Amino acid sequence: MNNVKDNTISELLENIELDSKTSLVKQIYTILWELIVNISLKPGQAMSEKEISDALKASKTPVREAIIKLEETGLIRIVPKSGTYVSPISLDRYIEACFTRLQLEVGAVRRAAERSNDLKSVLNLEATITRQVKALEKEDYEEFFKLDEALHKAFFEMAGVPGVWQVVKKTQSDVYRIRHLKRLLNIRRGNQVVEEHKAIVAAIRSGSPDAAEAALIAHIGSLESEIDQMSSHPEILDFIETLNDSGKRSKRTKMK
């Protein structure tokens, strides 16, 4: 990504129009959240409140409130007398997010397998995978990512606990950023992901909670395997912040 030009806020927000009938703060928050999560705004990149206001033709008040909400999520940092910046990816938050998702999703796929007689939900899972295969064939990785999210959300819906997916999703910002970094850096395993998805859904269809759990763990992987994978790609580590031995935050040299 060294040769990829950073787009300015103005360029990224060009042609985006806000709906005056709904919450401006929520709209601005969502727009900026998506730009950060999909790495359009890169870790370390400066964000100007005035530039955002001008680009969206909005007053500074809702922009400031949206930025404060983003700071609370850890996605941005407001540095006094310096400015507002996209936060580096936190290794701590990433590990916690992986742990949260694995623990909650294991419960979801087990419960979904216990409801294997819900044929409509099973067919929905299988149809989503079919659409994923087509997206992969077209090399439409944005659509592939959206369908991946739709499939995992559907596990919770079939389990009868759709609200838990929303709990999981709120923790996943840095996981999403890592996934989009891998996409931008051409670190892909699309075909393997599809096969792993098929294994999970096959276990759910067969009504085997144990097999569904095993297939999900094989798909998401252990925390150790995640760290090992990132360590094998130092270009990803350039965006990641860790705690050093003295407890101070540090990160590798930021990529330009």
Looking at 62, 87, 112, which one is the last position of a domain? 87
In a domain, residue 178? The reply is: yes
For residue 179, is pLDDT > 50? yes
Model confidence pTM above 0.85: no
The pLDDT mean for the chain works out to 86
In a domain, residue 177? The reply is: yes
Quote the pLDDT of residue 3: 45
110 and 47 fall within a common domain: no
In a domain, residue 130? The reply is: yes
In a domain, residue 245? The reply is: no
Region 142-154: mean pLDDT is 94
121: CATH: 1.20.120.530
For residue 184, is pLDDT > 90? no
Q: How would you write 183-241 as a 3-class SS string?
A: HHCCCCCHHHHHHHHHHHHHHHHHCCHHHHHHHHHHHHCCHHHHHHHHHCCHHHHCCEE
Looking at 41, 58, 87, which one is the last position of a domain? 87
Per-residue pLDDT tens for 209-251? 999 999 999 998 765 666 666 667 777 777 776 433 333 444 4
Per-residue pLDDT tens for 54-75? 999 999 999 999 999 999 888 9
212 and 121 fall within a common domain: yes
Region 97-101: mean pLDDT is 90
- The parent domain of residue 56 ranges over 9-87
Quote the pLDDT of residue 227: 66
Region 17-39: mean pLDDT is 93
39 and 136 fall within a common domain: no
In a domain, residue 254? The reply is: no
58 and 115 fall within a common domain: no
Quote the pLDDT of residue 254: 40
Quote the pLDDT of residue 23: 95
Q: What angle do CA 138, 141, 144 make, to 5 degrees?
A: 90
Looking at 42, 68, 87, which one is the last position of a domain? 87
